Amino acid sequence: MIPHVTVNLAMSADGKLSTIERRQVKISGQNDFRRVDVLKAENDAIMVGIGTVLADDPSLTVKSPELKKNRLSGGRDENPVRIIVDSNARTPCNAEILHKGPGKRIIAVSESADPEKLKELGKYADLIIAGTGRVDLKLLLEELSARGIRSLMVEGGGSLIWSLFENNLVNEYYTCIGNIIIGGSSAPTPADGTGFIKEQDFIKLELADMEMIDEGVLLKWKVKK
């Protein structure tokens, strides 16, 4: 069994997650931030790739005091389990995600990660070794399920999301499309990686909901299995 996976991201009207310098930019507004906070609070865990940790240094904490209180009164930690997918243990020991707010952290690495660095990171997070050269996402999700994680929100970035789609591990895909053009052929997009070549391999989606939000639009897709 594997957790229910919801990918959530904000992209510009031209389909970019950030700039060509991979610099985080404000794409959506306050209503979307609140929606994302609710989604975060609803999920057992939240996951990002090491690329996002190095670029944005996010904390991935729940922001609303009310939502934190609700989680606590439901017998859960204030924040969902925060997970970094990081084959070679490149996570900096002073990363925000390892220090801000209470709750569990997991760093998923591969067998090729440096044992010395693992020893250091082990002070701040649980470690899961899944895969040889690169994190094997299916193995990782099975291990997360064995640890009681039933729902997983994925925040990005494009390389991790691509791999999840490539391995057919995504159930829902939410995109908030903001009213800006970022441009740049090398700027990150929601699914980077190698891409599918054959049409029969494309992931097929079903539009489940859409609404105007802030100055953009929110699309909620379900992945057809």
| CA–CA separation, 175 and 91 (whole Å) | 27
Task: Give the CA count within 13 Å in the CB-facing half-sphere of 220.
Answer: 10
Is residue 117 within the footprint of ligand NAP (CB under 6 A)? no
Q: How many CB atoms lie within 10 A of CB 109?
A: 27
- Whether 45 and 149 have beta carbons less than 8 Å apart is answered as yes
Q: What stretch of H or E contains 152?
A: strand 151-156
The angle that helices 65-73 and 30-42 make with each other, rounded to 10 degrees, is 10
Among 7, 9, 46, 125, binds ligand NAP (CB under 6 A): 9
Piece in contact with ligand NAP (CB under 6 A), picked from 62-70, 75-83, 153-161, 216-224? 153-161
Min. distance of Cβ 73 from ligand NAP in angstroms?
Answer: 29
Q: Does position 137 bind ligand NAP by CB under 6 A?
A: yes
The answer to whether 158 and 192 are in contact (CB under 8 A) is: yes
Nearest-approach distance from CB 3 to ligand NAP, in angstroms: 16
Which residue from 4, 13, 24, 63 is in contact with ligand NAP, where contact means CB under 6 A?
A: 24
Q: How far is CA 59 from CA 7, 54, 94, 144, in A?
A: 17, 12, 11, 20
For residue 35, state whether it binds ligand NAP (rule: CB under 6 A).
no
Shortest separation between residue 69's beta carbon and ligand NAP, angstroms: 26
* Residue (44 or 136) nearer to ligand NAP, CB: 136
Cβ atoms of 77 and 71 within 8 Å: the answer is: yes
CB 89 within 8 A of CB 50: no
Kindly state the smallest distance separating residue 106's Cβ from ligand NAP, in Å: 13
27 binds ligand NAP (CB under 6 A): yes
- As measured in angstroms, the least distance from the Cβ of 210 to ligand NAP is 18
- The residue range among 95-103, 133-141, 202-210, 215-223 that interacts with ligand NAP, by the rule CB under 6 A, is 133-141
| Residue 182 engages ligand NAP in binding (rule: CB under 6 A) | no
Residues 194-223 that bind ligand NAP (CB under 6 A): none
Upper half-sphere CA count for residue 36 (Cβ side, 13 Å)? 23
* Contacts to ligand NAP by CB under 6 A: 9-11, 17-18, 22, 24, 27, 48-52, 55-56, 85-88, 90, 134-135, 137, 155-160, 163, 188, 192
